[in-house]
Structure 1
Amino acid sequence: MASLVPPPTPKPAEKVDYMNLPCPIPYEEIHREALMSLKPEVFEGFRFDFNKGLNQNFSLSHSVFMGPTEVPSQSNDTVIKVPTSHYEFGANFIDPKLMLIGRVLTDGRVNARLKCDLSENLTLKGNAQLTREPHMSHGMATFDYKGRDFRSQFQLGNGTLLGASYIQSLTPHLSMGGEVFWAGQARKSGVGYAARYNTDKMVATAQVASTGMVALSYVQKLSEKVSLATDFMYNYMSRDVTASFGYDYILRQCRLRGKIDSNGCASAFLEERLNMGLNFILSAELDHMKKDYKFGFGLTVGE
């Protein structure tokens, strides 16, 4: 009877339409899936955020933070912390073609972000930070052009900072690109190259730059709610090597992210939804090498 069963017919190879490839993500965001798990926004102390929407496009935000701030020290193994607190007021305007975000802090800092669609394919992005400290204010403008199967960016910042990047889709899953930058004030320049391969279940990236940086990352999506990530960072000029492993777990009422790296630093970030418009936040980081331990908690009110 087995001889009467016809062998399974192989599936025909999927034909690739190279004239209709997808548009890749921006060059600067090729590691974004890995950063979601490996770079949670950990903090130390207490944080309270209140968001209030005034209408469909305009909203206000209030934020209070109380906790220590790290200051530079002569030794890398010593951490100096100074108790501090500040209040932050923010205003947001979000429209399908225009986004304006501003923040004012009691310590004198002013942060601003801009995103404007100049045309269907060209977008202007800008960010700036003004401080009371001399020579510490900075600003940058980015022009992002989105083609059918490629993306290019041009950046202009203070201090005669110029940068350009280009990324091209080679197949429906593989994209490659490069970047070049020049910092006139610091008299530094460099070039970099990157590749990204993504499917519905995984994302793998590789990046190398003439500054000495080599970055590899891999994200495996186990399900719609669980993903694992790992990365490898190497600087062939300073010989510094760091590897880390992280996770991103989304439950019905909370989201848990965390990581552990080869330097003995472990961190976790928990966002718990207590009620509609009320979230509880827990943050922890243990750095065994520096003997630096951080713990923070907070509340977020409003969507």
Structure 2
Amino acid sequence: MADIFPPLTAAQVDAKIKVDEKVDYSNLPCPVPYEELHREALMSLRSDNFEGLRFDFTRALNQKFSLSHSVMMGPTEIPSQSSETIKIPTAHYEFGANYYDPKLLLIGRVMTDGRLSARVKADLTEKLVVKANAQITNEQHQSQAMFNFDYMGSDYRAQLQLGQSALIGATYIQFPLIRLAMT
């Protein structure tokens, strides 16, 4: 009988030991925020095709402050009534300034078409984070702003979103407490 069954390999022995280990389901880490789940799914499912030229240059002035320059030349796709998209050649320059601190992040961008975008992330406490995003344009009623308040509990994460035009959103993610009876 010993000749019929081959000896166990090291990988099979390690897998058997891992199956026998018990998992403490009452002590799981806090889940990731909802927007990170959404971003990962979007990046996995969306193809990122780029046509044209892009040049980015970032210069760190010190450990907390940096400046960036970006030049992009390529077509902008505009949907039309027919099945074809219209491509209009465009080029623009973008200037950015970044401030990084362990508890505060400030990012600002100015584009040649007159748009200004700004992002702020502030860790108020170990469990409470405030984020703000804004995009200001020259066109009337096209500017946008949004505020996020994230609270991280021991095994859950809650988020409240407030934006212009009466945008209100709330998310709550919690690890389930599952108790398995091992026999």
Residue identity matched to 2:101: D
The DSSP-based 3-state class of the residue aligned with 1:124 is strand
Question: Aligned letter for 2:162?
Answer: L
Kindly report which structure 2 residues correspond to 1:236-275, keeping only aligned pairs within 5 A, or say none. Answer: none
CA RMSD of aligned residues (A): 2.6
> 1:41 and 1:92 mapped to 2: Cα distance?
25
Aligned residues: 169
Does the CA-based 8 Å contact 1:16-1:171 persist in structure 2?
no
The unaligned stretches of length 5 or more in structure 1 are 3-7, 173-303
**In proportion to residue count, which structure has more helix?**
2
Give, in angstroms, the shift of residue 19 of structure 1: 2.9
Match of 1:14 in 2: 21
- 1:144 is aligned to 150
Q: Which runs of 5+ in 2 are unaligned?
A: 3-7, 179-183
The residue type paired with residue 99 of structure 1 is L
Give 1:16 shift.
2.9
Which of the two has greater strand per residue? 1
Compute the TM-score of the two structures, normalised by the length of structure 1. Answer: 0.51
* C-alpha separation in 2, matches of 1:88 and 1:71: 21
Name the aligned partner's letter for residue 151 of structure 1: R
2:32: which partner in 1? 25
- Separation in structure 1 between the aligned mates of residue 105 and residue 47 of structure 2, nearest angstrom: 24
Spell out structure 1 runs of 4+ moving beyond 6 A: none
Aligned letter for 2:160? F
Q: CA–CA distance in 1 between the matches of 2:51 and 2:102? A: 35
Percent identity between matched residues is: 64
Aligned to 1:121: 127
Letter aligned with residue 118 of structure 2: A
> What displacement does 1:171 show?
5.8
Aligned equivalent of 1:38, options 29, 42, 45: 45
TM-score normalised by length of structure 2: 0.82
For the pair 1:101 / 2:117, whether they are aligned, the reply is no
* Larger-gyration structure (1/2): 2
* DSSP-derived class of the 2:26 partner: coil
CA–CA separation in structure 2 for the residues paired with 1:37 and 1:163: 24
CA distance in 2, matches of 1:32, 1:48: 24
Amino acid paired to 1:102: G
Shift of 1:34: 4.2
For residue 163 of structure 1, give the secondary structure of its aligned residue in structure 2: strand
Selected match of 2:61 from 43, 54, 66 = 54
CA separation of 1:31/1:137 partners in 2, compared to 1, >3 Å: closer, same or farther?
Answer: closer
Kindly report which structure 2 residues correspond to 1:59-208, keeping only aligned pairs within 5 A, or say none: 59-75=66-82, 77-170=83-176
Q: For 1:119, what is the secondary structure of its paired residue? A: coil
Matched residue SS, 1:30: helix
Contact 1:46–1:65, Cα closer than 8 Å, also in 2: yes
